[in-house]
Structure 1
């Protein structure tokens, strides 16, 4: 995935002189995760450059650049490092298009390595998607595969709207045999990664691979599990997800963030409203716990696991969720 993101940036910079890439250590170093490796040497420090350690300043500068016709791609070095820029996101990036009655567009992409799975210390692992999806005026995207990382980042950079691009850092080193192409599902479309008939697993970002592994493991219990990768969290692709849940009659939403007020609650509510007469059981969630993000040695207990997903699927098989499977 890291290579796919790097290729997307290379191709976008080559295709459009208005594209700029900047942030902390993205220049000669190539970024903490080496996503921008080699870009400064190839395109020069007027198009790929380092910034001071000032996230609000990084994003505020990007907004001004976009107002004047450029297409900035900025990197927030880690998910929780982006919070100092949150006022810029909510007060300006998300609202200027509406505030000016459409006269100003802000084609800004905010790249954020997010989520856990790498044993990071405090401020280096967080799941902040609900903050951004709750903010009207933003598109929020999170790829789950290397091929989608390339496709979605290219599409995000070409998009006229501001895009918060959440990169699952635990999947930076994941591999996939695929050609890198911008063709395929659009930026606002979910996709079915694995067809099934018994239950729909809904995931995004780093949890897509976990959901697919759980679906394969569920075969031993004779459960045929469908996996839907949301890809874009906002706007939500009701059509694809609703069609799947109406067909299977059961759904489980999986995400790393805490459950209370989490993104999965919105998904469950939408599906309940649109699929009520098709549901065989309540829509359930598998999430992180309602605690501050834990220390590295405890992270494995906090993140949704294959076993937790399978235990939740088992609760959907009977009229009495508390009964044991024979």
Structure 2
């Protein structure tokens, strides 16, 4: 096992995939010579050449459109949109072309491509560098959506995404890029190199898409979270002493309904946590799924803890995020119901 940050794990996944399959190509804004704004592709152009890792113009629609053509032709493009906030010009290409390729061609063509995007806030990036648009993609049939929360998951899930025959949206929580997160923005974690979630297999090791991870076993309440919010949920459980079972969804689409159902039927309570805006956020879909599958097992209403229904507030972003205090309050509410 090697110890890596999430950036290093993502870089390693690219490297292994490109070694294994010459059809894998990597491109996007500044991913070539510079190695990406977060350095996730550093060294790939030097190792594999400009024909396999190269820079693209600042044209998200063009980047994704070109990748769709490459995928239909038989390549396996992995493209980076520099920030998730920049993907909107490419949304039509994703929805109207990539997602429908397999079905509109009756299986004659597939679209094996990955769109990587840093997502979420926490780096004081402002309104155009901090959004969490995952719900916009989980609504699109034909697209898979992945959100890792650790280096181990990032590497294994990215390798699986590259192998997948259909388009995968791969959202990388930028707050987790360089180290662990204890749920508090003002409490730095200094033991990242010793953190068990930083241990990553050195060989080619995949994690199947659509399988959640039980990050913490418990019997009082189920917490459904993904990305950065997994650490917030852990902090809230630690501080309240409530025996929470924390499910890291990892894949939002396909969703591991079996793991969710098993946990909620055991605990009888459910709290859902995500960073994105509350209204029409992915938490609403999770709530409906739990209601349909676990109604007769529930001992309390399902609660959601999410971002506020406001444009992303640059100066007050840490007040916008669900923090351990808000999650702890929800845990106490469901236990008292």
Query: Fold match, TM over 0.5?
Result: yes
Task: Tell me, yes or no, if structure 1 residue 247 matches structure 2 residue 266.
Answer: yes
For 1:92-131, list aligned pairs within 5 A: 92-131=97-136
Give the equivalent residue in structure 2 for 1:188: 210
Task: Tell me, yes or no, if structure 1 residue 81 matches structure 2 residue 86.
Answer: yes
Alpha-carbon distance between aligned partners in 2 of 1:304 and 1:272, rounded to the nearest angstrom = 23
Give the equivalent residue in structure 2 for 1:310: 328
Partners of 1:259 and 1:287 within 8 A in 2: yes
Partners of 2:127 and 2:311 within 8 A in 1: no
Alpha-carbon distance between aligned partners in 1 of 2:150 and 2:223, rounded to the nearest angstrom = 16
SS at structure 1 position matched to 2:200:
coil
Partners of 1:150 and 1:182 within 8 A in 2: no
SS at structure 2 position matched to 1:315:
helix
SS at structure 1 position matched to 2:26:
strand
TM-score by structure 1 length?
Answer: 0.95
Task: Tell me, yes or no, if structure 1 residue 52 matches structure 2 residue 57.
Answer: yes
Structure 1, unaligned runs of 5 or more: 320-326
> Number of residues paired by the alignment?
315
Alpha-carbon distance between aligned partners in 2 of 1:166 and 1:105, rounded to the nearest angstrom = 21
The counterpart of 1:178, out of the listed 191, 199, 208, is 199
Alpha-carbon distance between aligned partners in 1 of 2:102 and 2:206, rounded to the nearest angstrom = 28
1:136-157 deviation per Cα after TM superposition (whole angstroms, max 9, x unaligned): 0000000011100000000100
SS at structure 2 position matched to 1:5:
helix
Partners of 2:157 and 2:207 within 8 A in 1: no
Q: CA deviation at 1:184?
A: 6.3
Displaced runs of 4 or more, over 6 A: none
Q: CA deviation at 1:202?
A: 0.7
Alpha-carbon distance between aligned partners in 1 of 2:308 and 2:126, rounded to the nearest angstrom = 17
Give the equivalent residue in structure 1 for 2:243: 224
SS at structure 1 position matched to 2:304:
strand
Task: Tell me, yes or no, if structure 1 residue 164 matches structure 2 residue 169.
Answer: yes
SS at structure 1 position matched to 2:334:
coil
Partners of 1:60 and 1:88 within 8 A in 2: yes
Q: 1:201 to 1:182 in 2, by over 3 A?
A: farther
Please tell me the root mean square deviation across aligned C-alpha atoms, in Å.
1.0
1:94-153 deviation per Cα after TM superposition (whole angstroms, max 9, x unaligned): 011110111110000000111111111221110100000000000000001110000000
Q: CA deviation at 1:213?
A: 1.8
Alpha-carbon distance between aligned partners in 1 of 2:200 and 2:304, rounded to the nearest angstrom = 33
Q: CA deviation at 1:182?
A: 5.0
